[in-house]
Structure 1
């Protein structure tokens, strides 16, 4: 009996060792597939959003190189997060509060970053509020937490390397990610964050221009960098001197260049509290831009469509394009006696191009089309107008 017992133990031991050997072999095969088979990893990683790829890139050198390759192939995927009361109120009923410090907008930003296929390198953020507790759906009630600037909340959500320009404005214009809706918010609590990835042949960067100093010496804008467009955000407190956007246009013109410069007089810059104009620069061979000025005489939808047709005829590629609208707070629904006239007209002319923008306390820009021939710089500062700018990345 003792002999039989010993034989059974030996058999059991051998079976356990064989099972362990099989498990080791299976794990070895999995490790081989997951680390050495390059094509397998590429096919697998192509199905993952950017945030998941960033997590995978930290596993090992092989995964890091494959993840970097996939991310580079997606470099032209511009995305955005937005909240607009008019769009939200037309959809299914929403809960009074959502689990995010920036409310409905913050939740959309979270989902956007979770689902986006490209890593944001630059972010342009427009908000109608300065503190998080004001955002629709925000759960923040603690005064200490509500005192944290929105800039800090946005910085916490973005990759550390992302360059962020944040401003507060009287109103916003935004488009849903599926391009199904576009609407204007005139103080109803709108917010939008446009996220730009790194793109080959494109440079996008933020600069600050002190309003009492020279342009080239302090802006960081290179004179011969092939600058195509500069969006400028000048705070109310900086309007005692000629706006930086106007000075930029004159300086470029003297150098024989006419890039599109457009922007607005805003309430407050969340990125920089000093007396400066915040700008985002678009440069590079792949970038093309054009703009149109809608003055106070353009006061019907038919007028708007007629003027926007000029922008359409500029011939910019709309495959990978984005529109910006800088409107006077005196326009909008009270001016047209109807909601969303200018944004709806834009969507009719450019159905595949998302439109974003602000209502401000003044507008910077002019009609600047590829065939424009200037003898001198047109007037750049306006009131009761709208500047619409189209940027194409080819």
Structure 2
């Protein structure tokens, strides 16, 4: 058995526990066993002690592939919870989570936010401590100094806590689906809230994540080659097969929509496509950009070997409106799940399929998903139109017929996609 397999399956195990197969013969073995129970920031701190600890830290991090989700505030639907817009409160929440719960170093963060919170952002205040890594500007007046209140966008506030290699894709919509670190999921339609999915680095044959943006001036040539399409969508290597694409559009009349036609041309029945129309998009690849460009769409290309990466997708159409019908449809994804700790799911729902659709009952669809997949991180948005189809390769059911760009666009529906990994 791989000595780190238990770590992946039991990442929340008490830090004081000893694994049954641990055999301690040297100080090195003891140190390595202790490191296996430390959150990632503690491992980083230990790496500064000596060369031996540096080597153990590097080995520990290389075997960590944990997917994380969190919600801010942690209980957004509680009547006693309010979402603070103070930067200090957000800093404190994120810092505590990263220091105590983050198990793997993230290389990509998908952030979903309600429009209300995305418009407000976070504000510093005179009583708050300086932001991490970025000293607040000081304004002198009449021989004394006082702090100036500054506004930080959601991505700006978050990246101050992340390693420089972590890219951030932020989506704002009327409503979001977010999960806590304990995999409690909520459909948040009217409250201020943020959901975050952290993905670590995986071996390329297991999971490749390629974020992309599509400028509003982009045009998709009718003779665009497969290689050109790959470069256009996140610079995917030519020899790598695209398995899934998650789109977020802000304009219905966009050249970006033509990407779907080309994808279906080169991958007629071998690709899962999911997406929705949202209000705001922002991608920060952590590089310095000297000019600002308007973008109509953004998204994520997912790649990986078919033996290691399993992807399925189901469509909940307008006529599906009872819990039993939802459950029966979501059960079609169950065969894909190989390891709950190495999987995540995307939910794109029409804004009309919220609590009003279910007689003021909240969390109907995400709670049915949670019953079937209690440990799988779930994140998503309520959009003004959905993109998706039934895609269930290797199931006992017939694979969905070849799709066209036109019949992928939906209304009054929800789309669930499950991405499951096998190391």
How far is 1:304 from its partner?
Answer: 1.2
Aligned with 2:212 (options 197, 207, 215): 207
Aligned with 1:336 (options 358, 378, 383): 358
What is the alpha-carbon distance in structure 2 between the residues aligned to residue 170 and residue 231 of structure 1? 18
Q: In the alignment, which residue of structure 2 is the partner of 1:173?
A: 177
Aligned with 1:186 (options 184, 189, 194): 189
Q: In the alignment, which residue of structure 2 is the partner of 1:123?
A: 109
How far is 1:37 from its partner?
Answer: 4.8
Q: Is the 8 A contact 1:132 1:146 kept in 2?
A: no
What is the alpha-carbon distance in structure 2 between the residues aligned to residue 133 and residue 146 of structure 1? 14
How far is 1:39 from its partner?
Answer: 2.6
What is the alpha-carbon distance in structure 2 between the residues aligned to residue 369 and residue 144 of structure 1? 54
How far is 1:94 from its partner?
Answer: 5.3
Aligned with 1:82 (options 71, 75, 91): 71
1:361 paired with 2:384, answer: yes
The alignment's C-alpha RMSD in Å is: 3.0
Q: Is the 8 A contact 1:262 1:366 kept in 2?
A: yes
Specify whether residues 244 and 232 from structure 1 end up closer, same or farther in structure 2 by C-alpha distance, changes over 3 A only: farther
Which range moved further: 276-285 or 340-349? 276-285
Q: In the alignment, which residue of structure 1 is the partner of 2:283?
A: 271
1:110 paired with 2:95, answer: yes
What is the alpha-carbon distance in structure 2 between the residues aligned to residue 238 and residue 163 of structure 1? 26
What is the alpha-carbon distance in structure 2 between the residues aligned to residue 47 and residue 310 of structure 1? 36
Q: Is the 8 A contact 1:130 1:149 kept in 2?
A: no
Q: In the alignment, which residue of structure 1 is the partner of 2:337?
A: 316
1:259 paired with 2:262, answer: no
Aligned with 1:348 (options 363, 371, 376): 371
1:291 paired with 2:313, answer: yes
Specify whether residues 122 and 248 from structure 1 end up closer, same or farther in structure 2 by C-alpha distance, changes over 3 A only: farther
Q: In the alignment, which residue of structure 1 is the partner of 2:419?
A: 391
Larger Rg: 1 or 2?
A: 1
Partner-residue secondary structure (3-state), 2:352: coil
Give the gaps of 5 or more residues in structure 1: 1-35
What is the alpha-carbon distance in structure 2 between the residues aligned to residue 144 and residue 382 of structure 1? 47
Q: How many residues align?
A: 347
How far is 1:293 from its partner?
Answer: 0.9
Q: In the alignment, which residue of structure 2 is the partner of 1:300?
A: 322
Give the gaps of 5 or more residues in structure 2: 1-25, 127-146, 221-228, 285-292
How far is 1:68 from its partner?
Answer: 0.6
Specify whether residues 147 and 239 from structure 1 end up closer, same or farther in structure 2 by C-alpha distance, changes over 3 A only: farther
Which range moved further: 155-164 or 195-204? 195-204
What is the alpha-carbon distance in structure 1 between the residues aligned to residue 188 and residue 117 of structure 2? 18
1:147 paired with 2:151, answer: yes
Normalising by structure 1, we get a TM-score of 0.78
How far is 1:241 from its partner?
Answer: 4.0
Normalising by structure 2, we get a TM-score of 0.73
Larger helix fraction of residues: 1
Q: Is the 8 A contact 1:245 1:261 kept in 2?
A: no
How far is 1:296 from its partner?
Answer: 1.2
Partner-residue secondary structure (3-state), 1:330: helix
Specify whether residues 270 and 176 from structure 1 end up closer, same or farther in structure 2 by C-alpha distance, changes over 3 A only: same
How far is 1:97 from its partner?
Answer: 5.2
Specify whether residues 102 and 309 from structure 1 end up closer, same or farther in structure 2 by C-alpha distance, changes over 3 A only: farther
How far is 1:69 from its partner?
Answer: 0.4
Specify whether residues 108 and 252 from structure 1 end up closer, same or farther in structure 2 by C-alpha distance, changes over 3 A only: farther
Task: Give CA deviations for 1:293-332 in whole Å, capped at 9, x if unaligned.
Answer: 11111122222122212222x4432432212110011111
